[in-house]
Structure 1
Amino acid sequence: MPGARRSKGLSIAAAIAFAVGNMVGAGVFVLSGLVVGVAGPSAILSYLFCGIIVAFSGISYAALASIFPEDGGGYLFARRMLGAFPGFIAGWAMYISLTIASAFVLLGFGIYFNLLLGTSVDPRLFALGGIVVLAGLNLRGLSEAGKFEIGLVASKIAILSGLIAVGLFHITRTDFVPFFDSGIGGMIQGMTMVFFAYIGFQVVALMGGEVKESSRNVPLATLISIGIVAIIYIGVIVALLSAHLPSYGSQSVFDASVVLFGGAGAAVVALGAVFSTLSSANANVIGASRIIMEMASERQVPGRFARLSAGGQPANSIIIGAILATALILYGNLNFVVDLTNVTTLVTMALVNISAFLLVRRENLVPPERTYFRIPLGVVIPAAGAISCVLFMVTLAPLTILVGFIVLFAGSAIYLMEDTPRGERIVREIRDRLGRRDGSELPQKSP
């Protein structure tokens, strides 16, 4: 049978837009200034090289998505290729990473909301307000949250394009001297920081079942979105350097816009940052809730964790995620939140690369008549993707790695829980909503 094709659903342009919208958020408005502060002008290479390395994993995602053109992304791939428990770890890691990322992005929202209003309120208060609004939107239904997302994405891309254009007009050769302001080590440290900025590419595979001609379009959308976002990030770094700021930090994009545009233009950029961070957080909440629905449909988590609201969303998952994000917002340490997100994301990406490695080595698992995206260079790319995940991991603080793994394996308790009769009914309802086979044929947890 040829690769799965859908006559209806999202176009490749829409899939790219969702991925770009998810990646372009706090990674631009908050993280870019922090990276320039660490790496200087070589921050350009930090974003470029990190994008290339992430593309290795993107190719692994693309190949698996062309074979399993359904919703679920990394969770689905690990579940199908590695078995039930590795699949659970991948899915739980995705849920936790998306939830933690929401906290970081909303802290950025709080910083820029202050700048927009000209106030000095604790940014955590605005962030808490943001998580309440987004949880409420998603409890009402995906269609309302999706419409909200489209408007926010269009606004932030337009504003960033203007900032980059002005930065390119003002940049000079001397702005790049000395290029390695903090040595090669600063550039490498910048790479470990910006990994967070690219993890949103997974959204294309996560929503693969909604993309038309997904066997072809999901791989293309994945790689194109990584390339587009790398260009945007590098353009913003150029704009920051052209502003000649005395120091760089979490609000440097705003400070640079004051220099390049004046007060009125800076207010527009701050408004764009508010839109951008809020839309990225919204995409993370949507993605996290979708993962729990998929896991519940496969009996990887008890049905009660994915109880559907009147709007058809997994209400308990959204509420639990909002509580976890609230705890991290109150903690308020940006670096810790980013590193913890990286730990959980790297676990999922490593498992996906291992799955792609097995796919290349055991292509007999795929029916010969099936068309799919074949990974170039054989096992080299998935092996490079898996190794890069490990290398990124070891650059993080040992305590952060420990906390990340504790959070992940604490989820094993949920995996081992027996479901209740009410939970079984919820699972059947979810499977019916997702168009799966009759609930009487529910899959078992064993591999």
Structure 2
Amino acid sequence: MVSDSSTGRKNSRLHKSLRFPDLFSIATGAMISSGLFVLPGLAYYYAGPSAIAAYVIAGILILPALFAKAELATAMPKAGGDYYFIDRSLGHLAGTVAGIAAWVSLSIKTAFAFVGIKVFLEVLVPGTYSMEITLAALAVFTFLNLRSASHAGRAQVFMVTGLLTILLVFSVLGNLHTSAARMLPFAPNGIRGIVEATALIFVAFGGLTKAASVAEEAANPRRDIPLSMMASLAVVTFLYFTSVTVCVGTLEGGVLAASMTPLSDAAATFAGRTGFIVMAVAAIFAFLSTANAGILASARFPLAMSRDRLVPAVIGRIGSRSGTPWFSIALTSVFIASMLFVNFVRLVKMASAMQIFLFMLTNVVVIVMRESRIHTYKPSFKSPLYPWMQILGTASMLFFLVMIGTDALIASSAVIFGGSIWYFVYSRKRVQRDSALLHLAARIFPGELKFRNESITRELKKVLMERDIITEDRFDRLVLRSEILDIPESMELKEFLKIAAETIAPSLEMQPAELYQLLLEREKASPTALRPGLAIPHIVVPGNGKFTVNLARCTGGINFGNPSEPVHTVFILAGTMDQRNFHLKALMAIAEITTAPGFDEAWRKCRTTQGLRDLVLLSRRRREV
């Protein structure tokens, strides 16, 4: 029995149990289902043999969205994926719409999987209770996901491993029996046919980014999220290409265009009834895999929205023993069950339209997050070719959105409109938070726009501390209490030391003149400028049990004795003799911080003193707790 706290906000921590094999299997299993075992026939109907090219094109065009989500997920590894990214960057209205659209789209794609199970059960065992068995499968995977994410993850690894093995054998044997004559004419419906097929099957790649929606449950999101997504795309695109080539090369065009079981029909041409049965069983495994991954990932969208008070708190309840969002999982499963009775082709097009819309927004989000210059936005993976990759991704998604068809656009627009109504009726009055878009606007209009608060900056700081497993040590606590000098103009060393002494003296219970003299004598004895741009003045002061760490940035530069190499970054350490051991530890911490790649540029770009403080606090270094 699942127990929970009284509200989703009292017990909202998810277990970090998913590793690379789990994340790879979630992404891979989510893609290899209807996109491969059902859609090749529909794609052939639109594009003929060039359906092969349509799959490859879709795999290439997903790259901007993959890079965008990998960057965002490593910077913000939180449950909700698309919803969380869009809400924190573009604001609550966009976030509410995106959260509902993502949940509906992913749930519909999961419903495809159960439809596929039903189709193949009817093919394998005519007259069976296919709908009843399909609903039973939905109940089983709902139960698995209620148990824990790790149980669902282990089941996913097992299913995907078997599935990839079967598909690899099918591709190798099938390509030995293909006929080049069936590849011609390659594009009977021209470019338009290829474009329509690509837009239709784009949803097949939508599962690739499911790993991002469970990033909060990843044990090592910095490494495993981007690596699992890229490995999954490479493997799946290869299998799409080889498998669809087998279908086109072994089946008559009319047969393939009308087939709802194209891989099984193709296997039957060179392996007989045995081949048909093996591929039908593989298809069922594929659909089971997608169904499991779909429930796991799509249930995280309502959870994330509940945490933000955009939907009722009850939806975000998490089981105290299982660590899973049980109410959200149950709600998602009920919605999936209702979708089993809707027309399949309409489902495909509607899910594709919403998925394309979300991919388009995700590319926009990367641009907004980077240009907002929020100092706590620190992805461990950065999308290459910025911003051209994002511009290309946005433009291509917009093009396919137009090509997807009127019915799908109307249905998707209804979801967007409904999400907007929900925001204004329920969500708007319950939450106020800054977004990255406001930070970007403040950069463009610095004198006209003021932040309500720095909530997004503080929130991302907490996310980074959780991601990098940062537990504050004594050095961090001293930095939190430190005085930070941010001096725009250039100055001489003595002038700077006077300002520093006046600032620091009260915390050491000393007179500024006495502290200034100690700092000056230290510089005369041995200059503390350690390298171009960095100095670490450190002195021993009278008394016992005293130690301070203070930071300073001088944009114009301080002359520490070499005018050609002005100092812009200063750490001032002052402590009593009994603190010598910690003095050495503080010097080691500063050395780790200031030698990190990109530190000098990040220090220069910080817009506030809090940004300077956070740059030090969020550094990756060894900590003694």
TM-score under structure 2 length normalisation = 0.61
Matching of residue 280 in structure 1 with residue 290 in structure 2? yes
For the 8 Å contact 1:302–1:417, the answer to whether it is kept is: no
Q: Following superposition of structure 1 onto structure 2, how do residues 60-79 of structure 1 map, counting pairs within 5 Å?
A: 60-79=68-87
Aligned pair partner of 1:405 in 410, 413, 432:
413
Distance 1:343 1:124, change over 3 A: farther
Distance 1:372 1:242, change over 3 A: same
For the 8 Å contact 1:128–1:329, the answer to whether it is kept is: no
Matching of residue 343 in structure 1 with residue 353 in structure 2? yes
Deviation at 1:171, TM superposition (A): 2.4
Matching of residue 258 in structure 1 with residue 268 in structure 2? yes
Q: Which residue of 1 aligns with 2:101?
A: 93
- Give the partner amino acid of 2:39: L
Q: Which residue of 2 aligns with 1:26?
A: 34
Distance 1:104 1:205, change over 3 A: same
Aligned pair partner of 2:50 in 42, 46, 65:
42
The whole-number CA distance in structure 1 between the counterparts of 2:158 and 2:226 is 25
For residues 313-339 of structure 1, the C-alpha deviation after alignment (integer angstroms, 9 at most, x for no partner) is 3343333323332332112x2110011
Distance 1:126 1:243, change over 3 A: farther
Aligned pair partner of 1:365 in 370, 374, 381:
374
Distance 1:314 1:192, change over 3 A: same
Q: Which residue of 2 aligns with 1:316?
A: 327
Structure 1 residues without counterparts, runs of 5 or longer: 1-7, 420-434, 437-447
The whole-number CA distance in structure 2 between the counterparts of 1:9 and 1:129 is 27
Deviation at 1:159, TM superposition (A): 1.2
Question: Secondary structure of the residue that 1:250 maps to in structure 2?
Answer: coil
For residues 105-152 of structure 1, the C-alpha deviation after alignment (integer angstroms, 9 at most, x for no partner) is 2111111112222x1458555443433333343344434433332222
Matching of residue 220 in structure 1 with residue 227 in structure 2? yes
For the 8 Å contact 1:302–1:418, the answer to whether it is kept is: no
Question: Secondary structure of the residue that 1:335 maps to in structure 2?
Answer: helix
Q: Following superposition of structure 1 onto structure 2, how do residues 220-259 of structure 1 map, counting pairs within 5 Å?
A: 220-245=227-252, 246-248=254-256, 249-259=259-269
Question: Does 8-17 or 263-272 show the bigger shift?
Answer: 8-17
Deviation at 1:44, TM superposition (A): 1.2
The whole-number CA distance in structure 1 between the counterparts of 2:192 and 2:107 is 30
For the 8 Å contact 1:353–1:382, the answer to whether it is kept is: yes
The whole-number CA distance in structure 1 between the counterparts of 2:151 and 2:24 is 20
Matching of residue 53 in structure 1 with residue 53 in structure 2? no
Q: Following superposition of structure 1 onto structure 2, how do residues 46-445 of structure 1 map, counting pairs within 5 Å?
A: 46-117=54-125, 119-120=126-127, 124-245=131-252, 246-248=254-256, 249-308=259-318, 311-331=322-342, 333-362=343-372, 364-366=373-375, 370=378, 372-412=380-420, 414-415=422-423, 416-417=425-426
The whole-number CA distance in structure 2 between the counterparts of 1:282 and 1:13 is 15
Distance 1:68 1:92, change over 3 A: same
Distance 1:316 1:216, change over 3 A: closer
- Bigger Rg, which one: 2
Deviation at 1:169, TM superposition (A): 1.7
For the 8 Å contact 2:199–2:352, the answer to whether it is kept is: no
- Give the partner amino acid of 1:247: V
Deviation at 1:417, TM superposition (A): 3.3
Distance 1:314 1:216, change over 3 A: closer
Deviation at 1:403, TM superposition (A): 1.9
Question: Does 378-387 or 173-182 show the bigger shift?
Answer: 173-182
Q: Which residue of 2 aligns with 1:429?
A: none
Identical-residue share of aligned pairs (%): 27
Distance 1:68 1:389, change over 3 A: same
The whole-number CA distance in structure 1 between the counterparts of 2:326 and 2:73 is 27
For the 8 Å contact 1:33–1:253, the answer to whether it is kept is: no
For residues 368-402 of structure 1, the C-alpha deviation after alignment (integer angstroms, 9 at most, x for no partner) is 9x563333332211122122222221122323222
- Give the partner amino acid of 1:365: I
Question: Does 345-354 or 138-147 show the bigger shift?
Answer: 138-147
Distance 1:9 1:278, change over 3 A: closer
- Give the partner amino acid of 1:361: E
Q: Which residue of 2 aligns with 1:423?
A: none
For residues 18-42 of structure 1, the C-alpha deviation after alignment (integer angstroms, 9 at most, x for no partner) is 2112111111111122212322221
For the 8 Å contact 2:310–2:427, the answer to whether it is kept is: no
For the 8 Å contact 1:91–1:348, the answer to whether it is kept is: no
Distance 1:10 1:328, change over 3 A: closer
The whole-number CA distance in structure 1 between the counterparts of 2:284 and 2:194 is 28
For the 8 Å contact 1:37–1:247, the answer to whether it is kept is: no
Q: Which structure has greater helix proportion? A: 1
Q: Which residue of 2 aligns with 1:16?
A: 24
Q: Which structure has greater strand proportion? A: 2
Deviation at 1:278, TM superposition (A): 1.5
TM-score under structure 1 length normalisation = 0.84
The whole-number CA distance in structure 1 between the counterparts of 2:207 and 2:262 is 22
Deviation at 1:56, TM superposition (A): 1.3
Deviation at 1:11, TM superposition (A): 4.1
Question: Does 149-158 or 271-280 show the bigger shift?
Answer: 149-158
Deviation at 1:89, TM superposition (A): 1.9
Structure 2 residues without counterparts, runs of 5 or longer: 1-15, 429-465, 468-625
Deviation at 1:85, TM superposition (A): 2.5
For the 8 Å contact 2:17–2:150, the answer to whether it is kept is: no
Q: Which residue of 2 aligns with 1:426?
A: none
- Give the partner amino acid of 1:372: S
Question: Secondary structure of the residue that 1:299 maps to in structure 2?
Answer: coil
- Give the partner amino acid of 2:331: I
Q: CA RMSD in A?
A: 2.7
The whole-number CA distance in structure 2 between the counterparts of 1:190 and 1:54 is 15
- Give the partner amino acid of 1:409: F
For the 8 Å contact 2:318–2:325, the answer to whether it is kept is: yes
Q: Which has the higher contact order (CA 8 A, sep 6+)?
A: 1
